[in-house]
Amino acid sequence: MSDLAERIAIITGSGQGIGRAIALELARRGARIVTNDVTGCCADDTLALVRELGSDGLAVTADVSDSAQVESLVKTVIDTFGQVDILVNNAGTTRDNLIMRMPEEEWDLIQRVNLKSAWLCSKAVIRPMMRRKYGRIINISSASGLMGQAGQTNYSASKAGMIGLTKALAREVASRGITVNAVAPGFIKTALTDKMPQDILDQLLPLIPAGRIGTVEDVAHAVVFLAGERASYITGQVLSVDGGLVMS
Ligand code: NAP
């Protein structure tokens, strides 16, 4: 299926994990893909996989929490392709700690990498999207932002902040053909969750009605739906992909 042919998609933090799966799923639908990482380890590898699927794109190493690097990234995309249609704000990380042990730097880092990055990237693509009267912005939030998670005051706050950003921006740009939605994954098997202690995972599994940890493809399928033509009347929403962990 190539319903996203001619679309240009930027997926931040797509060197591995959920971001890579989103990049590959969008490529399968025909979109050209801008991959991104911060260390330079893996964005090229994701682009190579995109090419194996018959699509193409660019790999850009950039820290998306830095405004100059974000502007440069988006300029490169516009100079190369002339447009940007889909932005997936996926880059993120964790620094878990109980609040009494959490240094201020761990609070600041998480707000910058998880939340400010999404604001910066959205701001950088919004003019080109408005000019074309078309855009899809998808923010990768988290169940932790919806329900709160002990040991994650910084992370839960950043992910709840992404939901506020999603709703406010959705209202600003809805009349210009741009939708802004969030996806809130639960526990998904990636390098990020591989860092979690086994006893915490053992406590969490019984709380998931589906009875399993999610896969990166579970999240990618939801993102591809929101990025597609058929989701044009859906905006300002949060789609949980968590096996029923959070039900509102
Ligand atoms: P991951 O495997 O650790 O991958 C994170 C990606 O983000 C990597 O490509 C990393 O690049 C990139 N990145 C980190 N900081 C960056 C920055 N400043 N600028 C650009 N790229 C940056 O993580 P994941 O589990 O796939 O998580 C992806 C997103 O889903 C995150 O926002 C996370 O909070 C969210 N999420 C994950 C889960 C889960 O269970 N895994 C659940 C809910 C939400 P490098 O490889 O160069 O470091």
pTM score, whole prediction: 0.98
237 versus 195: the higher-pLDDT residue is: 237
What are the domain boundaries of the chain?
8-240
Q: For the domain 8-240, what is the CATH code?
A: 3.40.50.720
Identify which of 34, 37, 108, 223 to mutate to test ligand 1's pocket (most ligand atoms within 8 A of the CB). Answer: 37
CB of residue 214 inside a 6 A radius of ligand 1: no
Q: Which two tokens stand for residue 171?
A: 């209202």
pLDDT computed for residue 203 by the predictor = 86
Give mean pLDDT, residues 164-188.
Answer: 98
The two tokens of residue 174 are 């809805």
Categorize the per-residue pLDDT at 1 as very low, low, confident or very high, splitting at 50, 70 and 90.
low
Does the beta carbon of 138 lie inside 6 Å of ligand 1? Answer: no
Whether pLDDT at 194 is above 90: no
Q: Of the candidates 86, 105, 84, which has an alpha carbon nearest to the alpha carbon of residue 95?
A: 105
175 Cα–ligand 1 center, Å: 31
Provide the H-helix boundaries in 82-190: 104-110, 117-132, 143-147, 153-173
Q: What is the pLDDT of residue 193?
A: 86
The alpha carbon of 185 and the centre of ligand 1 are apart by a number of angstroms equal to 12
With a 6 Å cutoff on the Cβ, whether 240 touches ligand 1 is no
CB-ligand 1 contact for 26 (6 Å cutoff): no
Q: Is 135 in the pocket of ligand 1 (CB under 6 A)?
A: no
Which atom of ligand 1 sits closest to the CA of residue 188?
Answer: 40
Active site residues: 155
CA of 121 to the centre of ligand 1 (A): 15
11-56 pLDDT per residue, tens: 999 999 999 999 999 999 999 999 999 999 999 999 999 999 999 9
Residue 215 has pLDDT above 70, yes or no: yes
Residue nearest to atom 32 of ligand 1 (CA): 92
DSSP single-letter state for residue 19: H
Give the contacts of 149 (CB within 8 A, at least 6 positions apart): 143, 155, 156
Pocket lining: 137 vs ligand 1, CB cutoff 6 Å: no
pLDDT digits (tens, 9 = 90+) for 47-80: 999 999 999 999 999 999 999 999 999 999 999 9
CA 14 to CA 5: how far, in whole Å?
Answer: 20
Residue among 11, 33, 36, 38 whose CB has most ligand 1 atoms within 8 A, to mutate: 38
How many residues comprise the chain? 248
Cβ–ligand 1 distance for 194 under 6 Å, the answer no
